[in-house]
Amino acid sequence: MYIPAHFAETRPEELHRIIREHPLGMLVTHGDTGLDADHIPFEFDGGTGAHGALMAHVARANMLWQRCPTGTPVMVMFRGAEAYISPSWYPSKHETHRQVPTWNYEVVHAYGTLTVHDDERFVRRVVAQLTRRHEAAESKPWKMGDSEPEFINNMLRNIVGIEIAITSLVGKAKLSQNREVRDRLNAADTLDARGHTAIAQAMRNPG
């Protein structure tokens, strides 16, 4: 990933935030048949290892866990807030007419080693963790105990757990840091007015 110095995001807390707030990762693998990508919601554990770990599950019918056995090096991409930026939103454009369109975004690449967990205990734990996190905002959160045990057991038999021990995290936050402050802030205000509040807030405080 090309990262100019002014767009580099190295703060661990920000890298972790992007992963937690945007947990649908793109798992990129390379095997005998070439490159492939799977879109999977991950649970991030920042307390495991030097850089944390990612846990998830895939359908048993998904050949990923057989194509990529334990020990396979992988990359997971997490894309955070993003939006198109019009040059018309920069006050300086109307003075110099020397601005062009661009796209602002936050992204994290997590590199690591894959472990396959084809066991019910691991899978049940991952499903419980994912459920607790993503049902937390519901007035009556769904839990596995809401369903008949045999139904849940059958569902768990049809998925396989995966864990990625993260070896490095690489982040990029392209937030108009290379523009005049007035241009960056006016673009942020324009995005905010159009409902893109997350990327607008990031642009106001690029770190």
Mean pLDDT of 120-137: 96
How buried is 176 (Cβ within 10 angstroms: 0-12 exposed, 13-18 middle, 19+ buried)?
A: buried
Rounded to two decimals, the pTM is 0.93
**What CA–CA distance (Å, rounded) separates 10 from 173?**
10
Entry field: residues in the chain: 207
Query: Encoding tokens for residue 53?
Result: 């770990």
What's the pLDDT tens digit per position in 34-47? Answer: 999 999 999 999 99
CATH of domain 5-204: 2.30.110.10
Print burial letters for 49-65: b (CB count within 10 Å at least 16), e (below 16).
Answer: eebbbbbbbbeeeeebb
What's the pLDDT tens digit per position in 80-110? Answer: 999 999 999 999 878 887 789 999 999 999 9
What's the N-to-C CA distance of the chain in angstroms?
Answer: 20
**What CA–CA distance (Å, rounded) separates 90 from 110?**
33
206 CA to centre of own chain: 18
